[in-house]
Structure 1
């Protein structure tokens, strides 16, 4: 039995019937203050009154209070759903009905009313729903689907059977398999289904998050795809088996093998020779032994190779060097046939069109900078060692080198850095010298002084990273930054800079006459002297401060 309305409650109901809604709200509010008041009933009446005044946020608040005070009273759910319908939010109202049906016990006397209202609203919403892919022309639908990730495409197959048929029969959608976004381990049966949807003609495959037991079968299915161009494996598997499975895929342009796949150094030549169309290769675990150093040179001709990434997981020692020796890049020279006008002159020599080279943990030779192709645009050297103390004095010009990244390389000092930055006369736009402990702040300034005469193009940098550079503090920051007027991103992580650096760089964004550049991004991870106030100060002035 619900309590009998109090005098104030009854007065509010009469005022509501007369249309005096503001006075009714006052009466209901006073009624709520009385002891032993029917709070749910009063809130229900006040919410209805707020709806008459189109104050839906107040009405929704009262309805939610009703649900909190009495979860097994259907009035709270009914009132909240009515308010949401008045606000043109039928989806939310349907959720409230569903939640109420979940909470109310099966024997509740008014549960049937809520079930009817839920079904009525659900049917009405279904009538208004139309499948966009059945209404759009096929060409338009294909343009929309192009923006979906592979994970999205797999997910929408489960929406309904019509979508499963529609998307499942579009072979173009299954030409690129990317399992990197999978939340759970992918079984081989799913891989087989994806390949079948492409009719076995897929061109790109990224295998990640595969169940360990599913890896052999998944690779077997993939190796049967004759048009495969992009092979990316982030799985634990034997390289010999991978090579045997894919050596017949003559269309391969990109090969990326994770650190879990050890590639013997001696197999490099065979791997590169087998795929004449290769444009990009990334091997994150090249394995060598003392008996194989110097073996595995590049083939005589790789005219399409543009990007090389080699990394080793083995420890580096420098005397004698036992780290992986980079295959001599000069062995990839392509010799052009002599022309009739050349006479007895030697034929010209051309390097392969290499644009990107990334080496992690590898030993480099003293002639490294003299044998790189002049087409190089991106060069990243991390870890590793140099085979000798030579200063790279045979450096040639790299007129296209815009990105140079040096990290944790003990051979980087004032001499080698000068030759790589200035001797190459590279038009650098991105320069990273991170954790190179033989290059201090003073050494870096010497490099810049030499660059002012021999390679002024370096002062057009837009991104500079000097992580953990010795001696780098606030005053040195100013000496460096004033020389790079176009700088937009700066990484000073693990240096001795303080909040003063952030404040100075933040103020420079608002002061056109400042000598400091107008930065967009500043990274100060691991800078112990940087305060939270300075970080907030920088962000308030539009500087993106990364901590």
Structure 2
């Protein structure tokens, strides 16, 4: 057996030529351990041998060692690129060639050869590439690109010049400017370029993530678009300037202002008058206007208005706060203004110092119908969605709800005493009921909203309502069996921080509500036993307990990571 360095290296090469690759690898490996060995040459030979055995990961490892030990030696780059080509990874091989050309000095004797190999590989790859959008008919290419977000479309323009020309001239792609997905501040020059691509005929605009100096110019450019229908501004700007600039936009159907744009309540009259085609308004910072307390001066007829969102955080000494007043919301007390098509109503009251606001109080005690007339019933317009945040509901709340309601969300409110609902309207279309952080939520109120309304609930949230416990929930099940059995068909339940929630109670939940697919148990006292039971049930397909798809366990301190892993391995999606 040769013991010298040259003999070991030479023996490995002879074994390679004979086709005894395993013995050759042993010889090369032993040669590497000798003092003063030609490490780069031996690693190169061993990598080539590994390739013959199709052990490409080992060959790649040797090639990378070559590069690491001698960055000015071209053999490491050439060997690594060859291995990647054998693995059918030409794009990564090209990257290795390009990296090697950066590291090798210009006077290197074999740099020219690497440049030739790099250019040859690049040309070969270009021949195999076909632009999908040039292969498709124009109509199909347009249909494909319309599924991308505005952010994706902007990114596509940077791929190549042909795509920039192709998509930059498709006017229909630029009818909706949405800057909400921008990673960096957007300059006004970009907004101007997008508007020009639409030929100034865009219909939807969402301004967000604008550089502060760019806001006035961007708003100015948008105001010159005569067909604008949707205006959404999440920027800091004066509302007077906005209304002045957009007064000529006769087709506006949606106006959304972020909390950075403060709008006095008295200005809402001008908005509704100036833009008669409005279907949706959202103002997230409404200021009090003392002159509008009470009836207000809104237009007499608002047949197009479908959605109203008003929010205020301004403190007030008046009661009720004028910022969120909607004049004559009901149809019975007055016929002006009229909201015959209002489908969504959201009121958000969150001042630093809370003052009680009773939502939609009943008519005053001295209100009486004239002789020969029947007293009209107070009721909301035909809403489908109602969200009340920070408001307190009164005893007539269930009676004024329209039977068209499908979504009801009640959050906050300062009253501890649960209102006694004197009469409940049947809500045969209500599928979603959300109650969150509401101290007035107790057994009586939940029973009224869930059972007395006979709502076919599919989604129920009772989150952080500290006066409602697991015992109250068990009573609710008893009432549901008698008065609203259809509610047992619900598919989503959230009981965040419900007092008394433990493993035994969750078993009760999942055996009573067998159609559940989503369950939120965040901030409860469950352990990994609950996850184990639910995961095993899902795996076995048992019909005795709910077969969940998703489980939330955020803030559950008694749930271990092992239990979460166990559940996920059995197909249960667990959100932590």
TM range, smaller chain: 0.7 to 0.9
TM-score by length of 2: 0.84
Rounded to whole Å, the distance in 2 between the matches of 1:315 and 1:413 is 29
Give runs of aligned pairs for residues 26-425 of structure 1, distance below 5 A. 26-288=26-288, 292-294=292-294, 301-314=301-314, 322=321, 327=326, 329-331=329-331, 352-385=381-414, 390-425=419-454
2:330 touches 2:378 (CA, 8 Å); kept in 1? no
- CA-atom RMSD in angstroms: 3.2
Match of 1:491 in 2: 520
Distance apart, 1:175 and its partner CA: 0.7
1:428 aligns with 2:457: yes
Residues 162, 99 of structure 1: CA spacing in aligned structure 2 closer, same or farther, 3 A cutoff? Answer: same
- Higher mean C-alpha displacement, 479-488 vs 168-177: 479-488
Match for residue 451 of structure 1 among 466, 470, 480? 480
Rounded to whole Å, the distance in 1 between the matches of 2:297 and 2:479 is 36
Residues 79-135 of structure 1, C-alpha deviation per residue, up to 9 Å, x if partnerless?
A: 111222233322111100111122223443333332232233223333443433333
1:174 touches 1:194 (CA, 8 Å); kept in 2? yes
2:311 touches 2:324 (CA, 8 Å); kept in 1? no
Residues 475, 52 of structure 1: CA spacing in aligned structure 2 closer, same or farther, 3 A cutoff? Answer: closer
Rounded to whole Å, the distance in 2 between the matches of 1:121 and 1:508 is 55
Match for residue 510 of structure 2 among 448, 461, 481? 481
Match of 1:508 in 2: 537
- Match of 1:482, SS? helix
Aligned length: 536
- Higher mean C-alpha displacement, 511-520 vs 80-89: 511-520
- Match of 1:486, SS? coil
1:403 touches 1:430 (CA, 8 Å); kept in 2? yes
- Match of 2:282, SS? strand
Residues 362, 334 of structure 1: CA spacing in aligned structure 2 closer, same or farther, 3 A cutoff? Answer: closer
Distance apart, 1:499 and its partner CA: 2.2
1:440 aligns with 2:465: no
Distance apart, 1:347 and its partner CA: 11
- Higher mean C-alpha displacement, 431-440 vs 46-55: 46-55
Residues 250, 257 of structure 1: CA spacing in aligned structure 2 closer, same or farther, 3 A cutoff? Answer: same
Rounded to whole Å, the distance in 2 between the matches of 1:353 and 1:492 is 34
Residues 246-277 of structure 1, C-alpha deviation per residue, up to 9 Å, x if partnerless?
A: 34434333333222223333444544454444
Residues 491, 432 of structure 1: CA spacing in aligned structure 2 closer, same or farther, 3 A cutoff? Answer: same
Runs of 4+ in 1 over 6 A off after TM superposition: 344-351, 386-389
Residues 308, 418 of structure 1: CA spacing in aligned structure 2 closer, same or farther, 3 A cutoff? Answer: farther
- Higher mean C-alpha displacement, 427-436 vs 437-446: 437-446
Match of 1:341 in 2: none
Rounded to whole Å, the distance in 1 between the matches of 2:96 and 2:433 is 58
- Match of 2:186, SS? coil
Distance apart, 1:183 and its partner CA: 1.0
Instruction: Return 5+ residue gaps in structure 1 as ranges.
Output: 337-343
2:418 touches 2:441 (CA, 8 Å); kept in 1? no
Match of 1:534 in 2: 563
Match of 1:462 in 2: 491
Instruction: Return 5+ residue gaps in structure 2 as ranges.
Output: 332-336, 342-372
